[in-house]
Structure 1
Amino acid sequence: MREKVIRAILDSGENFISGEQLSKELGISRTAIWKHINALREEGYNIESVNKKGYRLAEKPDDILSSENISYNLPTEFIGKKIVHFDTIGSTNDYAKEIGNKVRGGTLIISEQQTKGKGRLGRSWKSKSGDGIWMSLIIKPKIDPYKAPFLTLVAGASIVEALSNLGVDVLIKWPNDIILNNKKICGILTELSAEMERVNYIVIGIGINIKTLDFPNEIKEKATSLYKEGYKISRADIVRQFCIEFEKLYKGYILDDDKENTLDICRKHSAVIGKQVYIVKNNKKELVKCIDINENGNLIIKENNGDIKEIMSGEVSIRGIKGYV
């Protein structure tokens, strides 16, 4: 019922909607309406109330990641249509894996805080309350399991497009980091549940630093946030734009086997193609030149001896010569 109350207020825009009208439309008492309004205010909605006029939003709810706010007028078919929101959780990826078999594809798990957030290769991910976007998307594509890793590139390309739509130009450090001003702003962790020839579900975890201004010493030279780089952008708008862009690229890949749109974005916005980088594997570093990303989403490199090799995601880490990239 609370979702219906906020949707009615969102629909009214700058106009007031009376408690009596809400009561009639929703079939509940005005006292119940008042209780829902107070609960919504506690969630962060700035709802103005004026005697004999009713209720309206005093400002756009840009920073509220509730299901009602993000899914309102979201023009997707299934991505983000079901959102589970938490104030705090251990890990959105872990929770997504718990419910992966029980929910429909496109379900999005979002939390204001993670206490056990994690990144690629088991690294921890700092997820302070309200500072970023910590979310996991559950998808259920009818593809062979070996095709699943390409969806990390789909997610990365979707984030690039989403932020570009909002005025932020970022790069991708293959395969799963989003870079702004040569520092990491976002990480992607893709996890798969599958049988020999069938995908049960895929969880794509995404962490985006939005408001963080001070980073721990061990990562302050390689991590940044939108606010730190001067971009004050709505968290809700970022999530909506991601859902829109992901659905377009995802449907192209799954339904039409179209990889080119995703690859074009990943190549155009690559932070490593054409550069010399260190390939790190088992604590050993090798200086190579990145040449391209092939049709399978793997990185093509040239070794010092001239050999051309294909590197699969998950095999190695990449480090720049002078810094993170």
Structure 2
Amino acid sequence: MEEEINSHLSADRIQSMLRTDRWIIHYMESVDSTNNWARQEAEGGAPGGSVYLADTQTAGKGSRGRSWGSPEGTSISMSLVLRPEIEISRISMITLVMGLGAADGIRDVTGIDTGIKWPNDVVCRGKKLCGILTEMGPNGDYLVPGIGINVNMDRFSQDLRDKATSVFLETGRKCDRDRIAAGILESFGRYYDVFLETGDLTGLMDRYQAILANRGRKVRVMNQSNPYSGTALGIDRFGELLVKREDTGTTEKVFAGEVSVRGIYGYV
């Protein structure tokens, strides 16, 4: 018998699926951006562990100022408020931790073979399944990692169909968004605790490398002053992508947020 899928996300239902009380979930049917909502609440004193969830975003944010669409009833738009006691220089690693949590959370619930396109996308078969955008409070006293997951989209526009996919397109069935949201929160929570213990990715590197879609692939590093091509080797404990340059043979460290990395052959 096929599982009944709720037409709307349910904060109460997601909360009941969690094995921890660390997350406090807030839900609105429609917002401009869950990151905006989370930041407003954080400025008002919302504690770390607050989660802001919406069925639809009217002005969702993607990386580098891009918009992120979320049609009604088909996706998950979710932003967290975190208040980690870490150096500001290490904040960019949170995006990688969230990517790992999202990839494994989706995999655990749906069984699809997820990977990570460094530093902020979850992919499946070379196409984007979910994106992550992490923003920091003006004084560095909170972080807001936001995540958008393509769940039950059955099609994409002409310009996106070669780059984007959804859980539905990968499995052939409608999937329970509440379960996926809960799975991501559970998985991210485990990895976040490991990260906080060391202050870097030492305890997560093996798992991250295992599902890093860029690893061993040709990439183009879009450094504005000196773009170059090379082969992605993996990450170091600070989450920097190690790229062996084609032109010099040297290995460079690429810092997330400073430059973008593009696949030469396809999206990844």
TM-score by length of 1: 0.76
Answer yes or no: is 1:178 the counterpart of 2:122: yes
Among candidates 145, 155, 158, match of residue 204 of structure 1 = 145
d(CA) in 1 for partners of 2:167 and 2:37? 27
Once the two structures are superposed, residues 83-109 of structure 1 have per-residue CA deviations (whole angstroms, 9 ceiling, x without a partner) of: 111111100001111111321111111
Counterpart residue type for residue 214 of structure 1: R
Matches within 5 A, 1:45-194: 64-78=8-22, 80=23, 82-101=24-43, 102-166=45-109, 167-194=111-138
- Residue segments in structure 1 that go unaligned for 5+ positions in a row: 1-58
Once the two structures are superposed, residues 150-205 of structure 1 have per-residue CA deviations (whole angstroms, 9 ceiling, x without a partner) of: 1111101111221221212111000001111110000000111153xxx3110010
d(CA) in 2 for partners of 1:220 and 1:284? 31
Among candidates 228, 249, 257, match of residue 286 of structure 1 = 228
Deviates more, 1:282-291 or 1:82-91: 282-291
Contact 2:81–2:144 (CA<8 Å) still a contact in 1?
yes
* Counterpart residue number, 1:25: none
* Counterpart residue number, 2:191: 249
Once the two structures are superposed, residues 272-294 of structure 1 have per-residue CA deviations (whole angstroms, 9 ceiling, x without a partner) of: 11111112234975221111200
Answer yes or no: is 1:321 the counterpart of 2:267: no
* Counterpart residue number, 1:11: none
- Residue segments in structure 2 that go unaligned for 5+ positions in a row: none
SS of the residue 2:237 aligns to: coil
Matches within 5 A, 1:229-240: 229-232=170-173, 233-240=175-182
Over the aligned positions, Cα root-mean-square deviation in angstroms equals 1.9
d(CA) in 2 for partners of 1:269 and 1:90? 32
* Counterpart residue number, 2:245: 303
The CA deviation at 1:322 is: 2.1
Contact 1:61–1:69 (CA<8 Å) still a contact in 2?
no
Counterpart residue type for residue 249 of structure 2: G
Deviates more, 1:283-292 or 1:114-123: 283-292
Residues 319/98 of structure 1: CA separation in 2 closer, same or farther (3 Å cut): same
Contact 2:200–2:237 (CA<8 Å) still a contact in 1?
no
Counterpart residue type for residue 220 of structure 1: R
Q: Which gives a bigger RCO, structure 1 or 2 (Cα 8 Å, sep 6+)?
A: 2
SS of the residue 1:100 aligns to: helix
Counterpart residue type for residue 189 of structure 1: L
Residues 284/65 of structure 1: CA separation in 2 closer, same or farther (3 Å cut): farther
Counterpart residue type for residue 205 of structure 1: G
Percent identity, aligned pairs only, is 33
